[in-house]
Chains A and B, each alone.
Chain A
Amino acid sequence: MDNDRDVVLTTRGLTRHYHMGEVTIQALRGVDLDLHRGELIVMLGASGSGKSTLLNILGGLDRASSGTVHVGADDLTHASQRQLTAYRRHHVGFVFQFYNLIASLTARENVAMVTDISRDPLTPEAALYRVGLEDRLDHFPSQLSGGEQQRVAIARAIAKRPSLLLCDEPTGALDSHTGIRVLEVIETLNRESETTMAIITHNAVIGDMADRVVHLRDGRVEGITVPTRRRRAKELRW
């Protein structure tokens, strides 16, 4: 896939440190990165490599300590809280490792939490149809398997038709079979939309299904590789 000219998001010299208890953690030490329209990018790194911090900053959940983040012509670095909220509300979808569904709401209602506040969203039913859960609409999270819960989370993330989908260890809490099923859903969605998707994981195998793989280590980009052949999710094994 060659769309070098169509850059949707750019970071330059991104750093981030924060205090945890009595320790200061240097999570990012200068990250330069470009994301392209419609690409599927996998960010690989061990735990503590800074990948979650990077994802939070890309998603407008957190701010960099220094450096810049540009989305199109907009500068996220100096955006107000209100602007960051609007950015998340209209442009970004999140998928978390532990699904983070609201236990008191059904699958349909969980998706509705997002469609209620979006411009031009899919209907909750359509979003759930796209992840293959059209027959589980009115189930509560406790009545769904882990894989199903993660698919609800994905449906929730794509329902707003985001331009950027960020997945934080989406298979981390799942067995490999279920994990691959979830990746298949992400792959299909990527193929059918213009959404830029970033998966962060410590599982190197997932890199095989990406357009590009960003290797993170100690808060820096160690290198970017392009797989010789992009493999289908269902071909992956771990």
Chain B
Amino acid sequence: MKALHRKLLRDLGRLKGQALAIAVVVAGGVMTLILAVTMLDALTRAQERFYASHHFAEVFADVTRAPLGLVERLQRVPGVNLIEARVTAPVRLRVPDFEDPVRGQLVSIPDGRQPTLNRLHLVAGQLPTAGREGQVVVSDAFAEAHGLTPGDSLEAIINGRRTLLDLSGIALSPEFLYQAGPTDLVPDYRRYAILWMNQEALADAYGMEGAFNQLSLTLQSGADRETIIDALDLALARYGGTGARTRHDQPSHRFLEEELDQQRAQARILPTIFLLVSAFLLNVVMTRIIQTQREQIAILKAFGYRDAELARHYAGLALLIVLLGWALGVGLGAWTARWMAGLYADYFRFPEMRFPVPPWALALSLLLAGLSALAGTWRAVWQSVSAPPAEAMRPPAPQRFRRSWLERSALRHALGGEGRIILRQLARQPAKMALSVIGIALSAGLLMMGAWQIAALDQMLDRQYRDILRMDIELTFNDPTPVRALGELRHLPGVLAVETWRRVPATLIHGHRRYRTSLTGLEATPRLRPIVDAAGNAQPLPPEGLVLTRYLGEWLGVAAGDRLEVAIMEGHRRRLSLPVATLVDEPVGVGAYLRRERLNRLMREGPAIGGAWLLVDDNRRDALIDALHDLPVVAGIGLMDEAERDVRRYLDETLQVFAIVFVVLAGSIGFGVIYNNARISFAERSRELATLLVLGYTRAEVSRILLGEIALLGVLAILPGWAVGAGFCALLSEAFSSELFRIPLIFTPRLFGLSVAGVVAASALVGLLMLRRLWHLDKVAVLKAPE
């Protein structure tokens, strides 16, 4: 090994504290990149594999009831590849030793064999035997949640009739990777099940003999999706078709795509921020490290080392540090990815999900980290090595100090000798000071962003579950039901208040933008599911016109007063032009609301309702649930507190884990900046500090200079830190906005306080380390040694 290489390694050993601090920052960037990319890659690949191997359909269409003979005709629509008809129906279940109501969806499969499309991946047992009634395959998550195995039985209410179902098998399906109930955001495996049943048995139970109510199909390659969908809609209209839809409107696929989008946003934004910050830090730190080696550089040049050789040497030092950070980041990223994988496996039910770190991600992160190192150090390195050697060997010119404005102000008496030293030191090198302040501000900003994610998600859920979804129970009826049913509900035990709703599938059209959703009819001034203004107060619905979630309104490009085309997909399937009355801010989901009476009129029906929301006396809840079980009109019972708990758990486990990792990383960055800064400042001034000690200053007095400088930089960084943090939050809030939820851009005093607390904690820790160094400073040796 060449002596220069040895020097490189020894220098690295000497700088280990500082090097580690920089490496941690680089590791943060690399880790976020590796984590996001690995997750993205694993999810995408698992999705592609499962979709392909189990023939996930590309288009779906629901009808009320259509004859099986229609399938053959539809098969001839140009562009259709495979087509399969089936029966699906909602079901209510009772699981032994489980009190809460369980909702389910029954899906038919051809008697005794796998369906052509949306094939099942059996993890235990087998398909129902052909010709046997009452046998089902259940979703694996549900079976797992209740400890069910093939051979167990469940009580079900199918079409109002109590039936006993035997489990023949347990399966996964590409259609139900994400198994959230119809109105839920996140899966509740104990309260929601998917069941597959023989087609004949299910058709019998629902009066669907010789008929179907759902189609799945795949398309020939190159076929025009829109044309086929139009052809299907035309053919299915008379059978109560609600409009064919692509995977994009298939709930499980949609959720997965949302998750992938989220991961993509994370893969882009977070590593970029971290790597930029680390390039910046490297610049600050390497510039100063190299400056302390100014004399050594001059001597090496005197020996005849070339500029390029020295530049390579110092760039090598930076690259070694970055390499260390990269390795650390890859390790942490891979480890976190594996850990997150466990969490994801709970929410996305793939038969297998592998989490290898993709090699290209390793290469990419190495490249990015290396580039950030070079970008950060190149100028510093080149400036130092290209200076003429004699200049570096001459004793540096006495530094120019002058009185700062602060000293000329009325504060001068309060300043004291140490204060003056601190101020002049900082004022003499305003550029260095500015860089240090920016560095600390960046870390304070990152800290704020991490904390914001947690706070904003919390606020989002509070608004959704406290202000908007105020009901305790959501009932869904089998069919639209006369509003009279309300009276019966009011008399059930424990019911404090009842409110009705009616939901109709519809496509909203404005210009070339179309959005499939449903119109939700509410009471004139809904209280259990209010339309709230910015302050959280319930607003009456306008007598005419639609209220849209702002996100949806903006996506469609409509404002209050505009007219919107609405294609209703139920009943008379009217196409209407309705005015938009107002846009409201709702953090979760998107919707279109209007008065229920108005919706009933538009549907040309009597006062019908699709379900009801109940406010419940907690003490009598169990009795109420028992009573609800006995109501045949009820297709589903949703418990809001359970739903809220599930959503919070989901966010805790996924996003918040990420946010916490983030806060820790941001904290280490803050420490890295402040430590490097203080450490270099100490090295640069140890002679001065030792001189003060020799002159009779106490160590406490001298330490005030050191600590004062650290503190001053921290204080100066607070305001820019907040500004940077607010910017980061805005960036992330924008990137994470989706149809599913919008994370509000809120700033609470706690957030600002937290970012300050982070800087204070890091400064205090660094201060302690510097004090230790000062206590061990050998004043005589420092003074004797040459500069």
Contact = CB atoms under 8 A, between A and B. Distances in A.
B300 A113 contact: yes
Contact of A105 (B3, B301, B393): B3
Contacts of B309: 117
Interface stretch (B7-15, B82-90, B231-239, B350-358): B7-15
Contacts of A59: 302
A81 interface: yes
A11 interface: no
B393 A61 contact: yes
B307 interface: yes
Contact of A113 (B295, B303, B390, B786): B303
A116 B390 contact: no
Contacts of A102: 7, 296, 299
Given A102-B296, A105-B10, A117 B305 contact: yes
A85 interface: yes
Given A21-B400, A61-B393, A105-B3, A117 B10 contact: no
Interface string B309-334: 10000000000000000000000000
Which has the most chain A C-beta neighbours within 10 Å: B303, B389, B391, B397?
B303
Contact of B390 (A61, A89, A98, A118): A61
A16 to B, nearest CB: 10
Interface in B1-24: 2-4, 6-7, 10-11, 13-14
B306 interface: yes
Interface string B268-309: 000000000000000000000000000110011111111101
Given A112-B3, A113-B7, A98 B786 contact: yes
Interface residues of A, number: 35
A55 B583 CA distance: 82
A173 B302 CA distance: 20
Contacts of B389: 61-62
A104 B305 contact: no
Contacts of A94: 299, 302-303
B388 interface: yes
A88 interface: yes
A228 B296 CA distance: 41
A114 B303 contact: yes
A206 B727 CA distance: 69
Nearest to B400: A21
B643 to A, nearest CB: 63
Contacts of B6: 105, 109
Interface string A80-98: 0110011111101010111
Given A56-B393, A61-B388, A96 B3 contact: no
A133 B675 CA distance: 40
Nearest to B5: A116
A100 interface: yes
A100 B303 contact: no
A73 interface: no
B398 interface: yes
B4 A85 contact: no
A56 B394 CA distance: 10
A140 B14 CA distance: 14
Contact of A88 (B11, B303, B394, B400): B303
Given A104-B7, A116-B3, A20 B397 contact: yes
Nearest to B390: A62
Interface string B381-403: 00000001111011001101000
Which has the most chain A C-beta neighbours within 10 Å: B6, B14, B302, B786?
B302
A82 B305 CA distance: 10
A15 interface: no
B13 to A, nearest CB: 8
Nearest to B3: A112
Contact of B301 (A85, A97, A98, A118): A85
A238 B398 CA distance: 33
B76 to A, nearest CB: 81
Contacts of B786: 97-98, 173
A110 interface: yes
A117 B302 contact: no
Contacts of B301: 61, 85, 88
A61 B11 contact: no
B265 to A, nearest CB: 45
Nearest to B2: A116
Given A89-B303, A98-B786, A21 B390 contact: no
B79 to A, nearest CB: 71
Contacts of A81: 307
B302 A61 contact: yes
A56 to B, nearest CB: 4
Interface in A10-62: 20-22, 56, 59, 61-62
A63 B391 CA distance: 11
Contact of B304 (A85, A100, A156): A85
Given A88-B304, A116-B2, A104 B388 contact: no
Nearest to A94: B302
Contacts of A114: 303-304
Contact of B398 (A21, A61, A90, A100): A21
Contacts of A156: 303
Given A61-B389, A102-B7, A109-B3, A88 B302 contact: yes
A206 B10 CA distance: 38
B723 to A, nearest CB: 37
Contacts of B400: 21-22
Contacts of A87: 304
A206 B390 CA distance: 25
Which has the most chain A C-beta neighbours within 10 Å: B301, B307, B400?
B301
Interface in A105-133: 105, 109-110, 112-114, 116-118
A87 B7 CA distance: 24
A98 to B, nearest CB: 4
Contacts of A116: 2-4
Nearest to A168: B393
Contacts of A96: 299
A94 B394 CA distance: 15
Nearest to A108: B3
Given A100-B299, A105-B6, A112-B2, A85 B397 contact: no
A90 B303 CA distance: 9
A110 B3 contact: yes
A54 B7 CA distance: 31
Contacts of A173: 786
Contacts of B3: 105, 109-110, 112-113, 116
A152 B786 CA distance: 17
Contact of A100 (B13, B295, B388): B295
A156 B3 CA distance: 12
B304 A117 contact: yes
Contact of A104 (B11, B303, B306, B390): B11
A21 B299 contact: no
A114 B388 CA distance: 19
Contacts of A85: 301, 304-307
Contacts of A109: 3, 6-7
Nearest to A112: B3
A82 B303 CA distance: 13
Contacts of A113: 3-4, 7, 300, 303
Contacts of B302: 59, 61, 88, 92, 94
Given A62-B391, A113-B4, 13 more contacts: A56-B393, A61-B301, A87-B304, A88-B301, A89-B305, A89-B306, A94-B303, A96-B299, A98-B786, A100-B295, A105-B7, A113-B300, A114-B304
19 contacts: A61-B301, A61-B302, A61-B389, A61-B393, A62-B390, A81-B307, A89-B304, A92-B302, A100-B296, A100-B299, A102-B299, A104-B7, A105-B6, A110-B3, A113-B300, A113-B303, A116-B3, A117-B305, A118-B304
Interface of A: 20-22, 56, 59, 61-63, 81-82, 85-90, 92, 94, 96-98, 100, 102, 104-105, 109-110, 112-114, 116-118, 156, 173
The 5 closest A-B CB pairs, nearest first, are A89-B304, A104-B10, A62-B390, A112-B3, A98-B786
